[in-house]
Amino acid sequence: MSNPEPRRDDGLGHRRRPTGNFVDGLRSMAGLPRVIWVLGVASLFNDVSSEAIFPLLPVFLTSLGAPMRYIGLIEGSADALASVLKVVAGRWSDRGPRRLLVVGGYAMPALARAAMAAALAPWHVLTARLLDRTAKGLRSGPRDAMIAESVPSTQRGRAFGLNRSMDHLGAAVGSLLASLLMLAFGQTQSSYRVVFLIAAGIGMIAPIVLFLRLREQPADMADRSGSFETREPGSLRRGYSSYLVACMLFALGNSSDAFLLIRAHEVGWSSSHLPLLWTFHHLVKSLAAVPGGTLSDRHSRGVVVAFGWGAYALTYVGFGFASERWQILGLFLAYALYHGLAEGAERAIVADLSDRGARGRAYGLYHGLIGAAALPAGIGTGLIWDRWGPTWALGVNAAFAAAASAVLMALTFAGPLRRGPAPVR
């Protein structure tokens, strides 16, 4: 009798069956559970709606008489609120139905965007934006916990990769739609309101799809190989805290992509062409997310994420020294390596380091603390940019990313993330 084919360790203490080649991994996307596709479709329509509004919002606020500091107040307070709610909602979702939080978390933004269309004063926009970010805080942890618990550990990378791919595809379509609608309706305040209403209507498709098609995974469900875990009270595993520290270190250098668009404008990209560059950026990220997630299912996720963070560091150095338009275009293409390698795998590691029954809490802490770190990252980048210029500002971002990559490599090969095979709980 021949010996069974050996299984490999994923670098985080979980053993996995060898998968086929890379093409086979991509083909297996069609075999992912329905819940993955349903959540992906919701992410797509939500991001079409969001990105059709986001590039226009600063100009719309200015037309309402808002000063620049008020714009900063809106975005800063909205992100801070979302970060707190991500932690709270993650804990809630471990105790009750996640489906309600996810459906509500996609319905509220559509209502908020419709309210923006009716705004007559800057504080109206602030209220609507807070409602929008409240919804993001409610849905992020429960949604990711549902994704993680709907597939075996050997498919988590591609499952999260698919979700991120559809998210970025929606963002590309949304930014392109905004450009086309503004060309059709003109650059007037009433035109902004029409675009916001259209975006709100598109965004409402997401909760409708979820309400009709999303079903929560039964607590005791298992796949044919028995690789799903039984639902029971769980805990965060050894290495989770160390991994979260590495993620926060990276987040301190992960400033807003708005700085990259400003840099592109400085180098020579006109305001009319920036939306096209932004669309291209999201399209490339969408194409890179699925292969990157699949790669993390076949190799150590920690190594894959570390290489993604390293790609981020090199790209930001390039943005700091770029002087030609074609260099900016090439750097946005290279920037997709970070998103493709890291985004899906980062979230899969969170599931690998937490028990079922603690996944909502794990994702809530992950999203909340990463979101909180984004605020000092943005403020710090802006201050350094104003004082010493973009080369130094983007170089500091790159240094944080490189340090985080080195820390994660150390954790994977010589720290708490390096451990022998352990039973999946």
pLDDT at 406: 94
List 9's β-bridge partners, or say none.
15
Domains and CATH numbers, the chain: 30-218+232-414 (1.20.1250.20)
- Tell me, rounded to whole angstroms, the distance of Cα 403 from its chain centroid: 21
Question: Radius of gyration of the chain from Cα atoms?
Answer: 21
- Tell me, rounded to whole angstroms, the distance of Cα 227 from its chain centroid: 26
Q: Name the 3-class secondary structure at 107.
A: helix
Residue 225 confidence class, pLDDT cut points 50, 70, 90: very low
Asked whether the beta carbons of 114 and 131 are under 8 A apart, the reply is no
pLDDT at 91: 72
pLDDT digits (tens, 9 = 90+) for 377-421: 878 888 888 889 889 999 999 999 999 999 999 988 876 776 533
3-class secondary structure for 216-244?
Answer: CCCCCCCCCCCCCCCCCCCCECCCHHHHH
Least-confidence region, from 88-92, 163-167, 256-260: 88-92
pLDDT at 316: 95
Least-confidence region, from 95-109, 194-208, 227-241, 389-403: 227-241
pLDDT at 420: 37
pLDDT, the chain, mean: 78
Least-confidence region, from 1-5, 27-31, 265-269, 359-363: 1-5
Asked whether the beta carbons of 378 and 256 are under 8 A apart, the reply is yes
Report d(CA 423, CA 116) in Å as an integer.
50
pLDDT at 418: 64
Report d(CA 240, CA 247) in Å as an integer.
10
**What is the end-to-end Cα distance of the chain in Å, rounded?**
30
pLDDT at 286: 80
Asked whether the beta carbons of 354 and 335 are under 8 A apart, the reply is no
pLDDT at 246: 92
pLDDT at 398: 95
Tokens of 293: 């997630």
Report d(CA 122, CA 280) in Å as an integer.
31
pLDDT digits (tens, 9 = 90+) for 288-331: 777 777 777 777 888 888 988 999 999 999 999 998 989 998 99
| Of the ranges 214-218, 248-252, 267-271, the best mean pLDDT one | 248-252
pTM over 0.75: no
For the residues 123-149, what does the mean pLDDT come to?
82
List 15's β-bridge partners, or say none.
9
pLDDT at 83: 75
pLDDT at 4: 44
DSSP symbol at 357: T
For the residues 18-22, what does the mean pLDDT come to?
44
For the residues 257-277, what does the mean pLDDT come to?
78
The residue type found at 275 is: P
- The residue among 357 and 422 whose pLDDT is bigger is 357
